[in-house]
């Protein structure tokens, strides 16, 4: 892998239920870079993100992310990879029967945190960083969509990831909430975390500059 590259994909092929959805895509991402993946629904944007966090397998080509070879990884090492990634979903995927704090602690326990006091202090600090102080005891259904997505970003930031993979993070949000989420992600990127964001919202792409790649016919091309 080239120096400073956190991700290198070369001519990768990915199948979904025996259908070829990624057919020879290339991608390089450096530290702190903000990269958009755009394209029609079903064009393969989400499949590229899933390949990066090992939700789907790369069938052919070369794939490296941080210090992991995606094609040669053992299943036992997937948690180690995901600990260095933050994942932001369009539909939030928060645990509905747990409070905001419990949602964050759940992830922390799963990624090796042990000290309860340190965990609570860290979770509280992260919530402050995403502009959600004092909501630790609330449950997801008590929050707006924008607030839930901020909790998801807080969850993604828990382990100071090198990369955040965001799949349509503003897809279910109103314009003001979308702006708040993009301001957060932009600030995180400027702090050195690479962001790869799949989106179909071209207004956001124009308002928040980044490198834009179009996913079409299973390959990625650079947009001018």
DSSP for 117-177, please give it.
Answer: HHHHHHHHHHHHHTT-TT-TT--GGGS-HHHHHHHHHHHHHTT--SEEEEESTTTTS-HHH
In 3-state terms, what secondary structure has residue 49?
helix
Residue 167 and residue 156 in contact, taking contact as beta carbons nearer than 8 Å: no
**Would the pTM count as exceeding 0.95?**
no
Domains defined along the chain, listed by start: 33-55+82-222 (3.40.50.300)
Q: What is the Cα Rg of the chain in Å?
A: 17
Distance CA 179, CA 69 (A): 35
Whether 1 has a pLDDT exceeding 70, the answer reads no
The answer on pLDDT for 89 being more than 90 is no
If pLDDT is split at 50, 70 and 90, which confidence band does 132 have?
Answer: very high
pLDDT exceeds 90 at position 18: no
Q: How many CB atoms lie within 10 A of CB 148?
A: 23
Residue in the block written with tokens 């071209």: 202
């Amino acid at each position: 892998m080239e120096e400073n590259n956190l991700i290198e994909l070369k001519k990768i092929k990915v199948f979904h239920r025996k259908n070829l959805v990624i057919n020879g895509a290339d991608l390089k991402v450096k530290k702190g870079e903000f990269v958009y993946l755009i394209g029609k629904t079903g064009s393969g944007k989400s499949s590229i993100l899933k390949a990066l966090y090992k939700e789907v397998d790369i069938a052919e080509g070369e794939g490296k992310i941080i210090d992991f070879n995606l094609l040669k990884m053992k299943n036992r090492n997937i948690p180690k990879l995901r600990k260095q990634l933050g994942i932001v979903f369009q539909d939030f995927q928060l645990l509905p029967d747990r409070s905001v704090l419990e949602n964050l602690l759940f992830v922390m326990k799963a990624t090796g945190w042990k000290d309860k006091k340190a965990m609570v202090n860290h979770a509280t600090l992260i919530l402050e960083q995403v502009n959600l102080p004092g909501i630790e005891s609330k449950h997801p259904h008590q929050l707006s969509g924008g607030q839930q997505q901020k909790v998801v970003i807080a969850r993604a930031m828990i382990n100071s990831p090198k990369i955040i993979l965001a799949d349509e993070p503003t897809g279910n949000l109103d314009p003001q909430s979308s702006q708040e989420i993009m301001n957060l992600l932009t600030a995180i990127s400027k702090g050195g975390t690479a962001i790869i964001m799949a989106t179909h919202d071209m207004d956001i792409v124009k308002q928040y500059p980044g490198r834009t790649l179009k996913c079409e016919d299973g390959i990625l091309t650079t947009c001018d």
